[in-house]
Amino acid sequence: MGMSKLASLPCLLALALSAHAAPVTIPVTFDDAHQRQTIDGFGTCTYGEGAAEEWFQKLFLESLRCSMLRIDFTPRFVEPYSTDLYNSPWFHNRPPLPGPDDNNVRTYSGPEDYTREYAGKSVPISVMQADPEKNLHFFNYKDGTAWASALLAQKGGEDLVLVGSLWSPVPWVKRTSGYRYGNSDYPMPKKGAPWPFIWGGNFAGGVLDTSNEPLALFNDGDRDTSALEQFARSTASYILGWQRTFNLKLDYFSIQNEPNFEVFYNSCLYPSGEGYRPALEAIRAAFDAHPELRHIQLVGPEDLLGGGAYSLWQYGGGKTARAKNLQYLRDIDAQPGGVELMPIAAIHGYAPDGKSSAGAEAQPWIWWREGWKRSPAEGIPGNVAGYAAKGRKSWMTETSGEDPAWLGKDGKSPHRGAWSVALKIHQALTTGQQSAYIYWQMADGKKLNDQALTDKETGEGAGKFTAARHYFAAIPAGSACYAVDEENESILASAYLQPGGERSTIVLLNASDQLQEVRLDLDPGWKPLALRVSSEDSLWQKEDPAANFTLPVYGIATLMIER
């Protein structure tokens, strides 16, 4: 299990297993030899306006104790730039579905084509000035998720770390990618619609124009500017206006959510890291030019973990090949200053389809962290560096896809159910040595489903919420993760020395279908403080931490100790 052994601490954690297996002792020692990464925090993203509601805020901040919040910063505009959902077909809109082109979307090929007449009208481009102070009036800061996220962030206070991510830049800085939309049912875009397009107000697909070629239609009154400049100016201006509107400070920012995908919602494709780095440089320069934005650090590339080496290196082949995480990092670092430009790597814990969860296996995390010296598969180069090669740390910034049932919907698939949320967090923090773990949604306005940890009605009673809670609520930001030597594959353990060094969190997973009798043997000076145990039929139960206890079948236990 890679680094899934618990690290150093002046205590021995002895686990006496049931008669079904030999007893096992797991040493937990907090010393320099076993210390790994510092935990920056745990959290989720927010979708829709639920984050503005009291029930959501209470679960997020008090029950789950999230220390990080990820926010979609796709810019939103005031009229006339946003007229009729950016002049796109929709229910009871002008135009209504399916639109004059009979494909449910308004297509365009680039900025020159964006303002073409469509359904008897056109929407203008808002040309951004070099000074972001002059651009703030273009944006609607109380539209969509950024507004609801801001209200949650205000409740969270200064200790809540805010991580922004761009699902799409402003639509008129993108050009055609050469790809077309696949097949789907009404009211989705029709098969064959070329990217990019506007679908129900979403800025879908296309590639960012990084040529830096000045265009007359982007004349700012002083000179012709490029799409790349307009991208940086609009992004910086929107963030600045959002910060001022809500009296908040964004801490980190990713220039593109999942840059390898064009999808019907807000999205943008970066086929290679060669295009990704100029976008990073443009955003960094725009941030550095304003005193209220200079503090923001860049993270990325937020592509998928997948299940094999191909998922980490390249999608497809030949002329249609697209970069994946490790290739993005290689291209960013091909020129000096790559780490200073983007000091934190970020990855999404999804399978190659972008919907199913991944991360339960150790090998992808090892490749992400260490890379490889020899080619692991045909067509993949050898000697590829992992994220840690140049001293970066890494965050897992999005994942979901587990069934809400504890052992999966069939009751026999623990790696697909709620219990596996804990398994994937364990692998990410230990083998992957991730410094942060951010789930996709705590709740998304729908009934309990595979994309969120819980819903309004279920609250703390959801299995996925509970599995995450064993880590999120018990490991404060600033805790140090320590390696632990495991001798029994049925029990997965991790340990975290909290800031100040007087308390520690130990999380145990029973990865077997047998009960495990646990005996705690702590060194002098350490004493149990609190114990929570969860299983399929009993979630987040408080137990006596001083006594022997049973770790249930596919159970999770979080022990707090102090000295």
Residue 495: give its domain's CATH number: 2.60.40.1180
Give residue 547's pLDDT.
Answer: 46
Residue 512 lies in a domain: yes
- The H or E element containing residue 348 is strand 344-348
Tell me how many helices (H) and strands (E) the chain has: 12, 30
Does some domain include residue 12? yes
Amino acid symbol at 446: K
Residue 161 and residue 252 in contact, taking contact as beta carbons nearer than 8 Å:
yes
The pLDDT score that the predictor gives to residue 7 is: 33
Show the low-confidence residues of the chain (pLDDT under 50).
1-20, 547
- For residue 25, what are the domain limits? 1-39+480-563
> By CB neighbour count within 10 A (0-12 exposed, 13-18 middle, 19+ buried), where does 77 fall?
buried
- List Cα–Cα distances, 62 to 66, 67, 156, 282, 538, in angstroms: 8, 10, 10, 38, 21
Residue 529 lies in a domain: yes
pLDDT tens figures, 342-357: 999 999 999 888 888 9
Residue 11 counted as domain residue: yes
Q: What is the largest CA-CA distance in the chain?
A: 80
Average confidence score pLDDT of the chain: 92
| Residue 244, number of CB atoms within 10 A of its CB | 13
Cα(426)–Cα(508) distance, rounded to whole angstroms? 9
Using alpha carbons only, give the angle 30, 16, 430 rounded to the nearest 5 degrees: 40
Position 354 scores a pLDDT of: 81
State how many domains the chain has. Answer: 1
> Which residues, other chains included, contact 151 with Cβ-Cβ below 8 Å and sequence gap of 6+?
51, 52, 57, 246
For residue 67, being part of any structural domain is answered with no
| Dist CA 419 CA 513 (whole Å) | 13
530 in a structural domain = yes
- Report the pLDDT value the prediction gives residue 521, as an integer from 0 to 100: 58
In a domain, 534, yes or no: yes
- Percentage of residues in the chain having pLDDT higher than 90: 82
Closest to 515 (Cα-Cα) out of 497, 537, 532, 490: 490
H helix runs in 309-361, sequence order? 309-313, 325-332, 338-341
Q: Is residue 125 part of a domain?
A: no
